[in-house]
Structure 1
Amino acid sequence: MDAVNLVSFTLFLIFLSSYLMKLWMLRVNSQIKANVLGKSGKPLQTRVAEMGVKVATMAWGVLWFALSIFGDAWLKPMSIPGGDGRTVLLLSAAGLLFMGTGILFFITAMLNMKTSWRVGIDSATSTDLITGGIYRFSRNPAFVGFDLMFIGLSLTYLNYVTLLVCLINIIFMHLLIRQEERYLERVFGDTYRNYAKHTPRYIGFLK
């Protein structure tokens, strides 16, 4: 396992362990089943978005694990005009930085959400609208984190498969965000609309 794969695998373990630990802590400490992704009884558009996210992120996770362990020699790389070994290494380094930053966004978002954190839209239990911490700068910092990780994987292992998986995940994440926005507007009304007016959907100019 070379340095790039070692760092990639370490980041994968950090992401996966933090995600599973949050689910476990909510289950044990607050008796909350936080993973409600794709559960029945939701509107069709919501279920489609959630199932799309569920399948796409599973494919991304498996691909991330496989690439970190076996490298990307089994996948046809994308050709980079004028690219050489140094260019590929720089892109891989940039990709790892994206993934690390994405994990930081994701973990910070989970911590700020406390017991209101959910995987999917939970209409069965009441949660608070979190607007402090990292949520002052983005309405969806966990999704920003995911998008950074998707982009990071495609840069670290630059091939058509990782690029396709990246694009599919970003699309389904955006569809889920739109469904969550409609749900939050129904539940919190003007409070959410005012928050959305002053806080970008993603971050900075990505509103």
Structure 2
Amino acid sequence: MVWLLSLWALYFILHSLLAAEPVKHWFQSVSGISKQAYRIVYNLFNLFGLLGLLWFHIRFVCPPFYESATTVIVAGAVLTLAGLAIMIQSAREYELSSFLGLSKETYMPLQIRGLHKYMRHPLYSGTLLFFTGICIAFPFYKNWYLLILMIVYLFIGMWLEEKKLIHVFGDEYKDYMRRVKRLIPGIL
């Protein structure tokens, strides 16, 4: 299981590293590709890396943490669907074609509408809720260990993202941080 979790950790590290502005600029200067092309390559790397890891993860045989009853599986499915709904709604609040690299990146004002009125990182909230539901419904050790790794990664990712957002939006973002919690409205 160590190698599986190591692959996930490597994927998370590369995901953040390749999104960092200095790495993007370096890669663009060395390769000569545009920002838009880099975004497409970055997203393809993430997609195929994620699909490959999911394939290995699903095939990896591992004992369950506990035996789940039908009611527990249903509860996990409800959480998974709620997380998915939050992720989809959160994605709708962004200019997806620009995010994916399919159109030229434009300046986007600070996003404080929709779910962002209630939490600063609704996509992360949805992701954690989604995967927590998976862990409850399919309580294999590998899933719970991955959830722990994912929580650590997302908190580091939030910290890095917020540093960048403070740099871009300054006091406007700092004020937003004081008013709105990160993941759970009014709590966390």
Q: 1:67-82 maps to which residues of 2 (within 5 A)?
A: 74-79=61-66
Q: Percent identity?
A: 20
Residue 119 of structure 2 contacts residue 184 of structure 2 at CA under 8 Å; is this kept in 1?
Answer: yes
Answering whether residue 123 of structure 2 is matched by residue 142 of structure 1, we say yes
Answering whether residue 77 of structure 2 is matched by residue 96 of structure 1, we say yes
Moved over 6 A (4+): none
Local SS of the residue matching 1:202? coil
List alignment gaps of at least 5 residues for structure 1.
1-35, 45-53, 81-86
| In structure 1, distance between residues paired with 2:140 and 2:64 | 4
As a proportion of its length, which structure holds more helix? 2
Residue 183 of structure 1: aligned partner: 164
Residue 151 of structure 2: aligned partner: 170
Letter in 2 for 1:78: F
2:58 to 66, 70, 95: 66
| In structure 1, distance between residues paired with 2:174 and 2:140 | 40
Residue 121 of structure 2 contacts residue 182 of structure 2 at CA under 8 Å; is this kept in 1?
Answer: yes
So what's the TM-score if we normalise by structure 1? 0.60
Q: 1:124-143 maps to which residues of 2 (within 5 A)?
A: 126-143=107-124
Q: CA RMSD in A?
A: 3.4
Q: 1:64 to 1:105 in 2, by over 3 A?
A: farther
| In structure 2, distance between residues paired with 1:168 and 1:59 | 18
List alignment gaps of at least 5 residues for structure 2.
1-14, 24-45
Aligned length, in residue pairs: 148
Question: C-alpha offsets along residues 37-90 of structure 1, whole Å, 9 cap, x if unaligned?
Answer: 54276469xxxxxxxxx69x83896169837xxxx9x4211236xxxxxx5222
Residue 48 of structure 1: aligned partner: none
Residue 39 of structure 1: aligned partner: 18
Q: 1:177 to 1:40 in 2, by over 3 A?
A: closer
Once the two structures are overlaid, the 10-residue window that deviates more, 58-67 or 128-137, is: 58-67
Residue 183 of structure 2: aligned partner: 202
Answering whether residue 95 of structure 2 is matched by residue 114 of structure 1, we say yes
| In structure 1, distance between residues paired with 2:149 and 2:95 | 29
| In structure 2, distance between residues paired with 1:59 and 1:165 | 15
